[in-house]
Amino acid sequence: MAYLGVDIGGTFTDIVHLADDGSVVSTKVSSTPPRFEEGFIAGVEKVAGLRDVSAEELLRGCELVLHGTTVATNALVQLRGAKVGMITTRGHADTLPVMRAAGRAKGVPLDRMLHASRHDRPTAIVDRARIVEVDERMDASGGVVVALDEAGVEQAVRDLVAEGVDAIAVCYLWSVVNDDHERRTEAIIRRVAPDVFVTTSADASARTGEYERFAAAAINAFLGPETHGYLDRLRRGLADRGLQGELLVMQAAGGVAEIERAAGQPVLTIGSGPAAGVSASAVLGAQRGEADVLATDMGGTSFDVALLADGRPVRTQTTIEHQYEFHQARTDIRSIGSGGGSVIWRDPDSGALRVGPESAGAHPGPICYRRGGTKPTLTDANLVLGYLDPNAFLGGELVLDREGAEAGLAAVGEELGMSAVEVAIAAREIVSSQMADLIRQMTVERGMDPEDFVIYAYGGAGGLHVDGYVRELGAGSAVVPHGTLSTTWSAYGCATSDVMHVHERSLQLSSPFDAATVQAAFDDLERVATEQLGQGGIGAEQQSLERILEMKYPLQIHRVEVPVPSGPVTAEVALELEKRFAASYEALYGKGSAFEGAGSEIVACRVTGRGRLPQPQARGEEIGGTLEVTERDAIWPGEDGPRTLSTRVVPIDAIGAVDGGTVEGPAIITGPTTTVVVPDGSRVRLDDQGNLELRVDPTPVGAGATTATAASA
């Protein structure tokens, strides 16, 4: 059984092939927006070439293709979605346009957030004129107050179709406790307008919060047609090339789902690629015996950070996209625009050098790609400093233009009185500071010390910059997972994921908790989860269920996930929940932060159904290439300015044969898609599992460096 994992990012598409014998091959190709399936197919052809077979042979031998996608994310960011109509309860048509008061500042950059005059509502994804009210009403307990006007619903659908809508969202006031009216409305839409994409708030978000449910349903409808079209084109393209196995899609909560679910609920796939990397990090952490991990992913467009506490990814129940906030249980991943393609520029207001958040993307990309890019990026900086080999980028497929990159950096530096090299070094220091700040936000704001965590650094640009942000944090060490595989870590996470479905419902209880009520809620959700896994072909022996309660202190807004053991929820278990909540609270916010005497509340319950997929045991990636250790000039920061040092270039497979398996800096570790920068004072070793363990000298960069001849840059 061979598996193929594919993760599409804003700049590169990553592919990992896990063969029957456990051997792993990975590679990267440029992403191809907006026709992302073309980059997907190109990646399949490239990895097949590395296996010395045709794409058709490779796909015929794949039992599963597991896919993390940014199609939904990109469509939302670029507002390239469907023309949406909405049907709602009479009197509530303004719920989505009005938002909540804080919506004007939700998710906006810090410079805008600090100035109230720059706060505004986001661009509407549903025009107010296409939000139609109908007669219906449930009360807060789910009782019918006003019967559904089915004739009015049918007329509303016909009116919206006449307006040319591609999708319709149904959002009734109390469908969160009784979804009968939404289900009947959905049936009418499918009968009257069978070609229109339909979504209900009951499916998009089964949580209390009128605005948040409306937002989830509207966004799902906005993304539905494009996501459905993409996945349909991809499925047909793979089938035409020989795939007989199943195509599964990664979700933001972790785990994969059937393509039909992903196409019908694209809101679940927002941020799915980074979530796959966190899932892979959890597996690696278990293998290495490291329960508390900072998973850091630096790609071409962004830098993403997630936490694993006690071996489990820290989750969030709220998502903010394009200033719209909605409830969705997902891996808590924070991102900033600091990637390899982040643009280096001079701020005209402050005169300061900046990096990001704008990205050059895959097209035109950095200047050095020779694709028409005119703005220098971090990739250009790394090339000018000698950290990247212009003739070996992406395994030699793309020859980089060093002279063009240097000219672009020099143009920015001219306004600042800096040389191209000084701009390149300063840009690396700036981005290291930005990344360290994001990590501090993820940890310190929760009462945690980042030095208590092991840092895993992956993504296409992770190895190039990990030393910088580790040094900024004072953490001292980091792990680059499985060496070369680190650059395609999220694709590997897709390939090694299990099927997962999350089912949740609101539940309002105050301590002491009624055990029967909690048990009944779990029984309902477990039944649905088991049925759904069975419908997907997952046998009972492959299924597992995880119970979670979301709990909080009275009058507090922060919710904490509390695991609940399987088995009957007895009175004793109900009493134990408060202690479990206090322990989970302190694990997140620091020892002593809990206050058991305050009582607690249950606000939601969730069941995660997992279907374990049989997989071969991965065994080291087939890296290939030369084992020859060479040298080249590279430019490093020093106490007195940039220094040009003769620097060892060590292929990752050759580390074990160099200096007892430990490479001292300055050095550059290379693979077909990997570059790890090891400055003077740092060192790296390859462990038995193929991970690179980086040790960082906490002294300032360049301090006491006398091991090589330095020359002025």
The DSSP annotation for 202-258 comes to: HHH--SS-HHHHHHHHHHHHHHHHHHHHHHHHHHHHHHHTT--SEEEEE-TTSSEEE
Statement to judge: residues 406 and 524 lie in one domain: no
Statement to judge: residues 89 and 218 lie in one domain: yes
Residue 265 has pLDDT above 70, yes or no: yes
Residue 713 has pLDDT above 60, yes or no: no
Statement to judge: residues 212 and 90 lie in one domain: yes
Q: In this structure, is residue 555 part of a structural domain?
A: yes
Rounded Cα gap, residues 457 and 467, in angstroms = 10
Residue 624 has a pLDDT of: 46
* Other CB atoms within 10 Å distance of the CB of residue 95: 21
| H/E segment holding residue 182 | helix 180-192
For residues 316-330, give the mean pLDDT.
79
Q: In this structure, is residue 406 part of a structural domain?
A: yes
Residue 240 has pLDDT above 80, yes or no: yes
Statement to judge: residues 521 and 416 lie in one domain: no
Q: What is the CATH number of the domain that holds 114?
A: 3.40.50
Q: Tell how far CA 287 is from the center of its chain.
A: 22
Statement to judge: residues 422 and 509 lie in one domain: no
Peptide bond into 666 cis (omega under 30): yes
Q: Which of 324-328, 383-387, 647-651 has the lowest mean pLDDT?
A: 324-328
The pLDDT tens digits of the residues spanning 346-356 come to 998 888 999 98
* Structural domain boundaries, residue 597: 499-611
The pLDDT tens digits of the residues spanning 181-238 come to 999 999 999 999 999 999 999 988 888 888 899 999 999 999 999 999 999 999 999 9
Statement to judge: residues 89 and 210 lie in one domain: yes
Q: In this structure, is residue 465 part of a structural domain?
A: no
Rounded Cα gap, residues 491 and 297, in angstroms = 12
Statement to judge: residues 525 and 406 lie in one domain: no
Residue 180 has pLDDT above 70, yes or no: yes
Statement to judge: residues 507 and 405 lie in one domain: no
Residue 661 has a pLDDT of: 80
pTM of the full structure: 0.83
Q: Which of 161-175, 215-229, 285-299, 606-620 has the lowest mean pLDDT?
A: 606-620
Q: In this structure, is residue 216 part of a structural domain?
A: yes
What is each CA distance from 82 to 96, 227, 267, 294, 456, in whole angstroms? 17, 10, 14, 37, 38
What is the share, in percent, of the chain residues with pLDDT greater than 70? Answer: 94
Residue 162 has a pLDDT of: 96
Domain boundary among 386, 408, 428: 428
For residues 229-253, give the mean pLDDT.
91
Q: In this structure, is residue 50 part of a structural domain?
A: no
Measure CA of the first residue to CA of the last residue in the chain; give whole Å: 53
The pLDDT tens digits of the residues spanning 522-555 come to 999 999 999 988 888 888 888 999 999 999 999 8
49: tokens are 């070439």
Q: Do 694 and 468 touch, CB atoms closer than 8 A?
A: no
Statement to judge: residues 410 and 507 lie in one domain: no
Q: Which of 128-137, 388-397, 511-520, 615-624 has the lowest mean pLDDT?
A: 615-624
Q: In this structure, is residue 585 part of a structural domain?
A: yes
The model's confidence at residue 113, banded by pLDDT at 50, 70 and 90, is low
Domain boundary among 204, 223, 242: 223
Statement to judge: residues 503 and 600 lie in one domain: yes
The model's confidence at residue 170, banded by pLDDT at 50, 70 and 90, is very high
For residues 584-607, give the mean pLDDT.
84
Q: Is 133 left (phi over 0), alpha (psi -120 to 50) or beta?
A: beta
Q: In this structure, is residue 519 part of a structural domain?
A: yes
The average confidence (pLDDT) of the chain is 87
For residues 637-643, give the mean pLDDT.
88
Q: What is the CATH number of the domain that holds 540?
A: 3.30.1490
Rounded Cα gap, residues 394 and 14, in angstroms = 11
Residue 122 has pLDDT above 60, yes or no: yes
Which residue(s) pair with 144 in the sheet? 138
Q: In this structure, is residue 688 part of a structural domain?
A: no
Domain boundary among 545, 577, 611: 611
The pLDDT tens digits of the residues spanning 68-90 come to 887 787 777 777 889 999 999 99
For residues 704-708, give the mean pLDDT.
33
Statement to judge: residues 85 and 214 lie in one domain: yes
Residue 710 has pLDDT above 70, yes or no: no
Q: For the chain, how many structural domains are there in total?
A: 3
Residue 698 has a pLDDT of: 66
